[in-house]
Amino acid sequence: MNYAQLNLDRQICHRLYMASNGIARAYRESLLELQLTYPQYVVMMALWEQDEISIAELLKKTAIDGGAMTQILKKMTDKALITIIKDEQDKRKRVVKLQVKGNELRHQAASIPEQIRCKFPSINEDKATALIALLDLINQDLASAE
């Protein structure tokens, strides 16, 4: 029997795995200056887009696991980047709000996307747009299969 279907060079998943690990490494140096991990950076980007967001909305927006999010928010609270408050309308809900220090990090982080983009000299804007569209399709398919 031929098992060519098991060759790593034929696997989309392995390429995504390698790319994900490579991108995490690419971010490491830039995020070290901000004293953020990549998941914390993702949370910060979501909050810079929309401050005072419920934890449920933050989970949906970032696609970070709930258990991991709890730990991330605790560490970010300890660093005085965010505060977690009760929702005014529904006291059962918790809302994540940026503190001054968290807002100030936005200015420091502004150059990070371009720094990372420079690490992909062979991917022009058209290819980047196409890649985003393909990844969105993969994520949609995976979400609908759950």
Q: What pLDDT digit, counting tens, does each position of 39-56 carry?
A: 999 999 999 999 999 999
Domain count, the chain: 1
If you average pLDDT over residues 94-110, what whole number do you get? 96
Total-model pTM: 0.88
96: in domain: yes
The tokens 């995976």 sit on which residue? 142
Q: What pLDDT digit, counting tens, does each position of 114-145 carry?
A: 999 999 999 999 999 999 999 999 999 998 98
| Domain CATH code at residue 68 | 1.10.10.10
